[in-house]
Amino acid sequence: MTESHTHEKPRILCLHGFRMSAKILETQIHKWPESVLEKLDLVYLNAPYPSMGKSGVEGIFDPPYFEWFQANQDFTEFENFEECIDFIEDFMVKNGPFDGLLGFSQGAVLAAALPGMQAEGLVLTKVPKIKFLILISGAKLGGSKYGAPPLAANAFSPPVKCPSLHLIGENDFQKPDSIALLDSFVDPIVVHHLRGHTIPMLDDQSLEVVNNFIEKIRNHATTTAQVDTRNAKHSFRSRV
């Protein structure tokens, strides 16, 4: 018996911010109403490297803190970038399949680049194609602020086609980079909020946009599953 994919929750791997943690991101995401959270299967992952310096959330959230990769002060040289992607892929293989990614801050910078690198066949070759992204306080590797590690040199060329939801704070220091990132996506959906560099609560207007996006990705997942099923049946018939 085949269960309809329409009623399944999209399974999303959530990547926290710089020198934060899976637990902190989960706590912040749970500011969103249950009417949103109940539609999603959210899985939170700690980055592979312990914080190498002071966390911006010390005194607000308890340690431990983690970081995905490291960079020099002007973001032109990177360490452990490939290694952290290998770490993510290993987790996805063991705990997937995942439909999409959610990222905040450094996690969003990383998540934004992964579909393009995956399309090139450079990363995440052992897991299904990333179907959508939710990016909070994101930025572009290879943009005005951040350089691009060699692996991500062409991550946004051509622009990323998978559905994407971008949450941008009016008082976020990363706002210019979040806005610039939009040009690297095809038909991005945007939520503007009045907060800074944080996970915002959702007002009625934002909630409507987020719910519409969730419905979009659920329909997209259903269509993709139907196409995959037809292709599998065709392949089977071709072999018989």
Tens-place pLDDT, residues 93-133? 999 999 999 999 999 999 999 999 999 999 999 999 999 99
- Can you tell me the distance from the alpha carbon of 210 to that of 227, in angstroms, rounded to the nearest whole number? 26
- The residues facing 20 across adjacent strands are 66
pLDDT digits (tens, 9 = 90+) for 42-86: 999 999 999 999 999 999 999 999 999 999 988 889 999 999 999
More confident call, 190 vs 221: 190
Could you report the per-residue pLDDT of 194-203, keeping only the tens digit for each?
999 999 999 9
What pLDDT shows up at residue 145? 86
Residues 11-40: tens digit of each pLDDT: 999 999 999 999 999 999 999 999 999 999
* Per-residue pLDDT at 219: 81
* CA 8 to chain CA centroid, nearest Å: 19
* Token code pair at residue 206: 């934002």
Please return the burial class of 42, using the count of CB atoms within 10 Å of its CB with bins 0-12, 13-18 and 19+: middle
Residue given tokens 């308890």 in the structure block: 62
| Cβ atoms of 84 and 70 closer than 8 Å | no
The Cα-based distances of 61 to 20, 134, 144 in angstroms read 9, 23, 30
Q: Which of 4-13, 136-145, 207-216, 222-231 has the lowest mean pLDDT?
A: 222-231
Cα–Cα distance for residue pair 51/57, rounded to 1 Å: 12
Q: Say if residue 207's pLDDT is above 50.
A: yes
> pLDDT value at position 114?
98
Measured CA to CA, the distance from residue 19 to residue 30 in angstroms comes to 19
> Over 80: is that where the pLDDT of 221 sits?
no
